[in-house]
Structure 1
Amino acid sequence: MRARIRLRPRVRSLRPVHPAAWLTPALAAATTLAVVLVAVPRDGGGPPGGTHDNSPGSAAAAAAPAPAGKAEPDARDVVLAVHGGAGTALKRDETSPEKEKAYRDGLRRALRAGQRVLDAGGSSTKAVEKAVRVLEDDPLFNAGKGAVFTADAGHELDASIMRGSDMKAGAVAGVKHVRNPITAARLVMDETKHVLLAGQGADDFAAQQGLKPVTQDYFYTQRRWDELMKAKGKQPVKDATKGTVGAVALDRKKDLAAATSTGGLTNKMAGRIGDSPVIGAGTYAKNSTVAASATGQGEVFIRGAATATISDLMEFKGKDVASAAYQVLIERLPKLGGDGGVIALDRAGTFDAPHSSEGMLTGYLTRDGQLVTRIFQDESPPGR
């Protein structure tokens, strides 16, 4: 019988103690993250359908966004799409060129990581894992590095992944020492008979599988700390994109896959788990219907079984992907008291990203190499 390994890494640092370290010992080593961005011209101002990559081989828009209030797909012949969270919209007149570039570059890097997998003939499952890993490593998003703080000033991360060909899935919830939770979720799917591992058991499993643990201060960013302080002071948190990340993909074999990763909600109760690691709520993939990754108010997405319901409407009601996603995100979930968005992709490459929230960060890649990123409200209007 194998002994269970318990990893309780100690935070060792020569850096000064954080001024609010009384909230948690793990933040005693936290330091302010300084992000230096080079000012560049705006990305062409952003056409209505989003901003297109101007690198060699790229072209113009695959499709402009559908008018508000209509269930029409955003694009066709899509092989990969990502999201960086739904919530308060980024506004052009309040967003610096540096900030715009940072968000667009983050989405582009994720799309390029997944594209490399697909171009090499790799699986959609590997493509979504690679894309989400890039977003987990980007401190702009609420997943991995840059994850939000819990009420006790810690970090608890969730992630899930699902393969459409056989509907196998893996997830982790409440992990505290896994740098890339999406890879831990993939290992749960591939190396165990289970679907979801949580807490210390999930951290132990990840370490046993060769994922090097990180201490809590790895996830720290000054921006997220400031958001926690505002939340505890009952101040509104501006730029409140939920920041949850996700990806959906379609490979050469016509297999679908979806993945989602998050740090949760700012000031959430310790132990709270949202929709991101819940199969059928935050993530779902089935070859005959859809690959979907959601972002928003997790409790509502769990109660509404958001992504599984999109699939069910397609399978049992004969709805197309855009109509099914619209019905769930725009018509059903708001009645339960929450908002958010979803990226949904069917086996024909039809893509839609409806959201009831004010804004949503998305990007997609078509089969012929067109890459589109959308971060502003006029690029991806709510209610459609």
Structure 2
Amino acid sequence: MTVLDTRALNRATLARQYLLTREDTPVHTAVAHLCGLQAQEPQEPFTGLWSRIAAFRPQELDDALTGRTVVRTHLMRRTVHLVTADDALAWRARHDAMLRQRATAAYRRELADVDLDELAAAGRAVVADGQPRTMAQLVGEVGDRWPAPPRRALGEVLVAALVPMAQLPPRGLWGTKAGVRNLPLATWLGREVPPLPDGDGDPVGRRLVRRYLAAHGPAATADIRAWSGLAGLPAAVAAVREELVAFRDERGRELLDLPAAPRPHPDTPAPVRFLPAFDNAILGYDDRSRIIDDAHLGLSVAGQRAVLVDGRVAATWTLRDERLTVTPLRPLSATEQDEIRAEAQALAAFHDADPARVRITSGDV
């Protein structure tokens, strides 16, 4: 079985993630290909798309959100993701059990005496009028029936797990600070969330596996689980295995992939790229060594933004008071610094900051 070294996996990941070459593609198509962008920080997807789409303009994402072709909702790993409307509807029922388990696990003691099915029914009854509500407003209308649990526990399990919700604009629009207003996905998108089909061997899971590999492969089954948060995908993997090709990484793990998916030569040049906080190019794997050193794993989990140099995380970056600051994690050559500065100046201009105020610090090296 062919062994793919770390550099080969890195270049494959960059190609799938649109980080080798910016793609000339609509926002909706990019979001679909990437299987969504993690978006609990509402402004971060704009940087993620700027680094991936040629001539990306913020208005394109704003139009997709207000036009309801892209939606903010809790999905993979119980985190807020920006996904296409089609994927939000198609994938939601497959994620229901995981969302409920993770939400209730966080408040196991607080919700011990709450019948979750009754709570879900009460929540659906409240939002049936089609009016957007904040979490506090929703809890305020059902909380009298459950006075003991903390209101936050009731609210989070309702909006993140029990009732499929969309977070409405202006939340997530460019340069906008807005609180979360929730409306059922079915109401916002004008289509019901389809139930999981009976039998037929998990067709949604099979589609998820294929879509994940197209955007993240080659990858191990543990990587698929880490990205999705779903524990029940081995059967789906087994069902599509004959469609896939297999490799091994340097640790001996089996990696699966789509036969025709791009796997560039390991020596393919990789340009400097700036990633937003919580980007799935890093977080979408169990083994993240293809893109980030073990010593720096905590940075991405903590929400620090990363700079890729030669395809790997080599620095972090911040943007405050119109100053973009890059902090290296290893020594950078003069050429690397020049490349970082050029990309940073372009990113600063995108964010309406002053490109002349880009700064590369001495870093933690």
The normalised TM-score by structure 2 is: 0.28
Write 1 or 2 for the structure with the bigger share of strand. Answer: 1
Return the structure number with greater relative CO, CA threshold 8 A, min gap 6.
1
Write 1 or 2 for the structure with the bigger share of helix. Answer: 2
Higher radius of gyration, 1 or 2: 2
The normalised TM-score by structure 1 is: 0.26
